[in-house]
Amino acid sequence: MKLFICFAFFMLLAALSIGVAEWGKTMQRADIVQSWNDDSAQYVATGPLNTNILVTLMDNDNVSCDAYVSSVKHDRVLSKQLRDLGFKSVQCLTHREELQ
């Protein structure tokens, strides 16, 4: 019985440490995208773990958004860098694409 309690306690600690680590990454992603804000675009990390990049462009129309999202999606280097940071998708208005 004591072995079971020790094992359960160890598993609880492991789960908590994973949760804390993931929360830290979530907050880091939010800080990263906010640092990109400028006069031409505003960025916010959204979703349960901040894995979506929501972009609001200065010219926030469908054509500009479609062009922006497509350019990010098809830029393999940028997409890989964003995925390495934990992002999974980019969105502008209603146009959302998964990073490849």
**58, part of any domain:** yes
Span 10-35, average pLDDT: 65
Taking only the tens place, the pLDDT of each residue in 28-86 is: 999 999 999 999 999 999 998 999 999 999 988 999 999 999 999 999 999 999 999 99
Contacts with 26 (C-beta within 8 Å, 6 or more apart), sequence order: 45, 49, 50
Q: Token digits for 39? A: 């006069």
Is residue 19 situated within a structural domain? no
Residue 20: inside a domain, yes or no? no
Q: Note whether residue 11 is domain-resident.
A: no
- Residue 13 is assigned to a structural domain of this protein: no
Question: Is residue 43 included in any domain, yes or no?
Answer: yes
Q: Note whether residue 52 is domain-resident.
A: yes
Whether residue 15 is contained in a domain is answered as no
Q: What is the pTM of this model?
A: 0.74
Question: Does 89 score more than 60 pLDDT?
Answer: yes
pLDDT above 70 for 15: no
Which residues in 47-82 are b (16+ Cβ under 10 Å) and which e? eeebbbbbbeeeeeeeebbeebbeebbeeeeebeeb
The boundaries of the domain holding residue 46 are: 29-98
Looking at the structure of the chain, the number of domains it has is 1
So what's the pLDDT on residue 12? 39
